[in-house]
Amino acid sequence: MLTYIGRRLALTIPTIFALMFLTFLAVRLVPGDPVEVRTGERGISPERLAQFRHELGLDQPVWKQFADYVSGLAQGDFGISLVTKEPVLKEFLTLFPATLELAFFATVFAVTFGIPFGVVAALRRGGILDHGLMGVALFGYSMPIFWWGLLLILFFSVQLDLTPVSGRIDLLYYFEPVTGFMTIDALISGQEGAFASALSHLVLPAVVLGTIPLAAIARMTRSSMLEVLEEDYVRTARAKGLPPLRVIGLHALRNAMIPVVTVIGLQGGTLLAGAVLTETIFAWPGVGKWLIESIFRRDYPALQGGVLLISSILVLVNLGVDIVNGVINPRVRHGR
């Protein structure tokens, strides 16, 4: 087991190191002179240019610049935003809870509907319910979520006036962020109606972000369930005369869940990519929207730090999924 974890870790470290190099390189490939971008001056005098280049370390050899960049990262220095003049890490940590909260509720939505959809489809294999549910999953899987978000706003917010269109909570409420999770902070604040308001702001974005994971989970649950239902131990359990619910819930479902848990874990990438679109549509103040704004504001340090942080989180999540997978499924552990 330890060897397996060690091997996975050994693969992760070079990936994160390469990510650092990639983000370092990307910013140097961006069109426009970095000094000009940072100072906003054109036709700058050669002396001032040299001074700026020296201040930014751009007169150093590239390998030295990279070494400085990495040692900065190791000390938590992800650069300074050109727009807000705040440290990039601080901005990221302020915004990340919003993304995490959204991703959490999206996952809850996807799991709550995805697993029952998959189980029912497998039990009614080939029937109308199976075709119907898998049809829904196919549409979910193929959904342009940015359009899906607009449609839901059109229907639930504009036509029915049921849900708010944007933001995390109604402007009526104000409290200092404690955890950064609006639902939790609203509960802590004790203000009446604050929690309900935070929750109602979460519904549509969570549904939009959770749609593709829901479809992936439903499809995986169905195929995994179909496989397990054919196993001898399920037939034995049935032959023993156990009630069908017990056979399905206890004997079949528990084993069918192994690949499903992996699929849920691997939705991290889908959620982070989807967050960029979902947050843009719902004006959700998370890291996805921040990243897009950084591009349009040419705030390259923010973009560089943001991409590195988001990708590192994804790498670590996938590492976690692999390790959990190795723990619950010995075949994975010994397979490689």
Decide: is 326 part of the binding site for other proteins (CB under 8 A). Answer: no
Strand pairing partners for 21? none
Angstrom distance (rounded) from CA 80 to CA 116: 47
Give the range of 2-10, 101-109, 237-245, 314-322 binding other proteins by CB under 8 A.
314-322
Core vs surface per residue 241-270: b (16+ CB within 10 A) or e: eeeeeebbeebbbebbbebbbbbbbbbbeb
Tokens of 61: 């050899």
What is the DSSP-derived secondary structure letter of residue 76? T
Applying CB under 8 A, among 2, 3, 10, 31 the residue interacting with other proteins is: 31
Applying CB under 8 A, among 249, 269, 320, 330 the residue interacting with other proteins is: 269
Applying CB under 8 A, among 310, 322, 325, 326 the residue interacting with other proteins is: 310
Exposure of 117 by Cβ count < 10 A (0-12 exposed, 13-18 middle, 19+ buried)? Answer: buried
**Minimum gap (Å) between residue 296 Cβ and other proteins:** 8
The site for other proteins, by CB under 8 A, has a size of 50
What is the DSSP-derived secondary structure letter of residue 283? T
> Within positions 137 to 166, which residues make up the interface with other proteins, using CB under 8 A?
138-139, 141-144, 146-148, 150-151, 153-154, 158
Decide: is 277 part of the binding site for other proteins (CB under 8 A). Answer: yes
Angstrom distance (rounded) from CA 103 to CA 116: 20
- Residue numbers at the binding site for other proteins (CB under 8 A): 11, 14-15, 18-19, 22, 26, 29-31, 125-126, 130, 138-139, 141-144, 146-148, 150-151, 153-154, 158, 219, 222-223, 226, 269-270, 272-274, 276-277, 280, 291-292, 295-296, 303, 307, 310-311, 314-315, 318
